[in-house]
A and B are shown apart, each in its own frame.
Chain A
């Protein structure tokens, strides 16, 4: 074997394998993009006279509300996420190590749960205002003015308190790994910390901030539970009303596609705004800047500032849920189906996570090995699922999914002569499919960003030392990618667990997850019945979040964790570009 062949990446798998890898990744991409195609097909049926009505009465308000919500959530998550990331990187204060993981906890709290919890807590006859009135000696709730959480402001704050980790994670990772040496240079040149932050660290962190914020914004945009509950009319809510109340599914599919265009263009605009800037990754050489020790009231201030998001985004709602769940347990005992619900939730999320990782790996590896345009197109297209609201995605999935299911049943009947019914939907495989479509961007992005830090020379060296292709993957790539894979897996798992709309629509008979059970209770207005399920979602979600936090204990690995978020965002950027 010639040296050329060893050194050339194209020869790494041999032509045949390269082709099959490419074929696999294109197939995966097609499978993942099917619901979007389904959506286009529905939209193309024509929406009758929906648009004049929408343009005249619905869109002006909902588009404005959507933009205000996005702007508000964007500003707050960027301010919170970036400032916290900098505080924990540049300064040392008592409790800093605690916050390194505690600040991730809100990731475990779904937006709809945080909305229910705060509405109860802050209601005029709830505990907070009750206590205030007692302190102030006011007896009638009408005499105490208190801002209503059911408002745009309330919605922005509540969403931001659980979504800021999307910015915090990649930005801190970037500060830790990328900015270290540059910050030290700036310090040597006499810049004070303020100047370093605004002139060195912040501009450096901009890609991380942008991708983190775009993920947070997509979560905010796709949320229906919290906004509907808090009376904020986003586009997602109008998609819903058009479909449900006016039975105009094509009309709602058209709004959904328009929304997707909006999302992609927002990403495009940010990308365009920094088109002249170049960022060079130098993760291997990076070192951490020495944090400055804070003491006295400054340390106390830092402690309080870092506590706020943990308290509001996690501790208060979780404590409230725990109290409610306890009351409920005393009142009605342990719900009979709780065990099955937990099992269903964990098993489905775990399988989906595994599948999403494998497919993400294939897509990213195909791109790395073949450098074929088809592979990178497949990778970009595969991440579209995240940019469509979950409910709409589920509807788009219905057509291709059941067509496939029926085809499979037809085939089995033709070959074996037995009638087996709908296997894909009946076995719950449809849910796995939906989760993978929705969250593939996180795993694929994570793996890709992990790969991007492995020099091709590693591949060459392994081969030159006599390792086979598969051996190189097993003994070189996989071990090196482990942190990136682990971080991506944890994020996907948490997201699958929280997923509601697709689960609700596509699950088989007699199949409840924690989220669907909670939703059923919430629809009846009996959230207290749901409080046990809500607490379980938070608790089950806590385990992966803690693992994620452990990864960040070792600075070298913190970047990997940020990597999945950055990677997912970068993918979306790429997609916007293409």
Chain B
């Protein structure tokens, strides 16, 4: 005779629920990312194909660190991925990551693009470039020149508080110090053709729309627009502008990185390491370059022809790990000069 055992009943319900939450795959890795799902999906699909490890993702725009830290020891997160060095270092500082020693990663990622203790690794780079009206001649353009009064009313840029812009300001601080950075930022503000707003692509569109002559944006958007991956309208925007790789006077171009860390309580750590190591493999690095139009971090990996056409990239000599220390000051300066007002 069947006797109902309440404990067993509850257990089977729990098993059912937890079956929903932690999937039945034996091999899996959980990825929390601030990177837009559309951009990394092809990469992750290829990883699964190559390794047999299933990748579960959740795209969290803001609050990634807060969520992982609130989840605590039971956090399902294995890998934390961000698209800005500041956000990445924030994760490390909140103590939700763990250091990793990996020969493969250390061989592939140059030392200025990873934390000395392995608590984060850059996976790809993007340059902060100038989108410009085709009529202009901008040979040897520098970031410093954005403050030149001759551009009055001619510059378009997204919100100064966006991480891509605060990182640029932080780099300026690293080069010239806080006071000069503030003066520069105020002068750039005075040159704006409209209030800061929109995304990077808006700047290209606004140049075509005649609202300004110069825009500041990331390099990969140029590839996304010009390749037609964003649809026919954006192809027109991308092809309607010229793109210049600017530099700091006497130095190189400012780059930001996308990168990743291993979560502190990663339940599938072995697979997490597998994923990170795969992301710096030749195959993955070329996918970053071809699919997402980024600069690979691994020496020798090819960039996409559309990005190569922008000219050779000379990366700023101050490492990102140095620049990132100025990010909060940079954000304060943006407020101080009323950049977004």
Chain A residues within 8 Å of B, Cβ to Cβ = 53, 56-58, 61, 119, 123-125, 129, 140-142, 148, 150-151, 228-231, 233, 240-241, 243-247, 249, 327-328, 331, 391, 394-395, 398-399, 401-403, 405-406, 409, 412, 415-416, 418, 420-423, 425-427, 504-512, 516-517, 519-521, 523-526, 528-529
- What 3 A-B pairs are tightest by C-beta distance, nearest first? A124-B209, A426-B21, A231-B197
7 example contacts (A-B, Cβ-Cβ < 8 A) are as follows A56-B336, A229-B198, A245-B86, A246-B332, A420-B18, A422-B74, A519-B61
Interchain CA distance A428-B42 in the complex, whole Å: 26
- Flag whether B62 is at the interface (Cβ < 8 A): yes
- Flag whether B144 is at the interface (Cβ < 8 A): no
Chain B contact patch, size range: 35 or more
- Flag whether B67 is at the interface (Cβ < 8 A): yes
- Chain A residue, CB-CB nearest to B209: A124
Partner of B60, one of A125, A231, A426, A505: A505
Interchain CA distance A391-B63 in the complex, whole Å: 9
Q: Which B residues are in CB contact (< 8 Å) with A422?
A: 21, 71, 74-76
Which secondary structure dominates chain B's binding surface?
helix
Interchain CA distance A119-B194 in the complex, whole Å: 14
- Chain A nearest CB: distance from B43 CB in Å? 15
Known: A151-B195, A422-B75. 6 other contacts (CB 8 A): A57-B336, A140-B210, A231-B194, A418-B11, A422-B74, A520-B38
Docked-complex contact A507 and B161, CB < 8 angstroms: no
Q: Which B residues are in CB contact (< 8 Å) with A141?
A: 208-210
- Flag whether B298 is at the interface (Cβ < 8 A): no
Interchain CA distance A423-B202 in the complex, whole Å: 42
- Chain A residue, CB-CB nearest to B166: A245
- Chain A residue, CB-CB nearest to B162: A245
Docked-complex contact A231 and B196, CB < 8 angstroms: yes
Partner of B328, one of A56, A129, A246: A246
Docked-complex contact A524 and B76, CB < 8 angstroms: no
Q: Which of B51-59, B121-129, B283-291 interfaces with chain A?
A: B51-59
- Chain A nearest CB: distance from B320 CB in Å? 17
- Chain A residue, CB-CB nearest to B54: A510
Given A150-B197, A246-B328, A525:B21 Cβ within 8 A? no
- Chain A nearest CB: distance from B221 CB in Å? 7
- Chain B nearest CB: distance from A418 CB in Å? 7
Partner of A520, one of B15, B37, B73, B197: B37
Docked-complex contact A423 and B21, CB < 8 angstroms: yes
- Flag whether B14 is at the interface (Cβ < 8 A): yes
Interchain CA distance A150-B17 in the complex, whole Å: 47
- Flag whether B326 is at the interface (Cβ < 8 A): no
Q: How many A-B residue pairs have CB under 8 A?
A: 188
Interchain CA distance A261-B66 in the complex, whole Å: 25
Docked-complex contact B37 and A125, CB < 8 angstroms: no
Interchain CA distance A240-B161 in the complex, whole Å: 10
Q: Which B residues are in CB contact (< 8 Å) with A142?
A: 210
Interchain CA distance A246-B234 in the complex, whole Å: 33
Name which of B57, B63, B93, B338 has the most chain A CB atoms within 10 A of its CB.
B63
Q: Which A residues are in CB contact (< 8 Å) with B38?
A: 520-521, 524, 526, 529
Interchain CA distance A415-B6 in the complex, whole Å: 12
Docked-complex contact A524 and B39, CB < 8 angstroms: yes
Name which of A229, A403, A426, A521 has the most chain B CB atoms within 10 A of its CB.
A426
- Chain B residue, CB-CB nearest to A505: B63
Given A231-B197, A246-B332, A402-B72, A523:B21 Cβ within 8 A? no
Docked-complex contact A421 and B233, CB < 8 angstroms: no
Name which of B61, B74, B209 has the most chain A CB atoms within 10 A of its CB.
B74
Partner of B340, one of A233, A395, A421, A528: A233
Q: Which B residues are in CB contact (< 8 Å) with A505?
A: 60, 62-63, 67
Docked-complex contact A421 and B58, CB < 8 angstroms: no
- Flag whether B318 is at the interface (Cβ < 8 A): no
Q: Which A residues are in CB contact (< 8 Å) with B232?
A: 331
Interchain CA distance A520-B57 in the complex, whole Å: 13
Docked-complex contact A241 and B331, CB < 8 angstroms: yes
Q: Which B residues are in CB contact (< 8 Å) with A327?
A: 231
Q: Which A residues are in CB contact (< 8 Å) with B119?
A: none
Partner of B62, one of A148, A391, A425, A507: A391
- Chain A residue, CB-CB nearest to B7: A416
Q: Which A residues are in CB contact (< 8 Å) with B72?
A: 402, 406
- Flag whether B317 is at the interface (Cβ < 8 A): no
Given A233-B341, A240-B62, A508:B201 Cβ within 8 A? no
Docked-complex contact A399 and B70, CB < 8 angstroms: yes
Partner of B199, one of A140, A405, A512, A525: A525
- Chain B nearest CB: distance from A363 CB in Å? 28
Docked-complex contact B208 and A125, CB < 8 angstroms: yes
Partner of A426, one of B63, B76, B233: B76
Contact with A along B85-115 (1 / 0, CB 8 A): 0100010010000000000000000000000
- Flag whether B261 is at the interface (Cβ < 8 A): no
Docked-complex contact A230 and B197, CB < 8 angstroms: yes
Docked-complex contact A525 and B56, CB < 8 angstroms: no
- Chain A nearest CB: distance from B60 CB in Å? 6
Partner of A509, one of B30, B161, B331: B30
Q: Which A residues are in CB contact (< 8 Å) with B224?
A: 524-526
Docked-complex contact B14 and A523, CB < 8 angstroms: no
Interchain CA distance A161-B22 in the complex, whole Å: 44
Given A61-B338, A331-B231, A526-B38, A416:B74 Cβ within 8 A? no
- Chain B nearest CB: distance from A228 CB in Å? 7
Interchain CA distance A87-B338 in the complex, whole Å: 45
Docked-complex contact B59 and A516, CB < 8 angstroms: yes
Given A520-B36, A520-B38, A508:B58 Cβ within 8 A? yes
Q: Which A residues are in CB contact (< 8 Å) with B62?
A: 240, 243-244, 391, 505
Given A328-B231, A395-B66, A509:B76 Cβ within 8 A? yes
Q: Which A residues are in CB contact (< 8 Å) with B59?
A: 504, 516, 520
- Chain A residue, CB-CB nearest to B161: A241
- Chain A residue, CB-CB nearest to B65: A247
Interchain CA distance A420-B20 in the complex, whole Å: 11
- Flag whether B136 is at the interface (Cβ < 8 A): no
Q: Which B residues are in CB contact (< 8 Å) with A124?
A: 206, 208-211
- Flag whether B200 is at the interface (Cβ < 8 A): yes
Q: Which B residues are in CB contact (< 8 Å) with A394?
A: 63
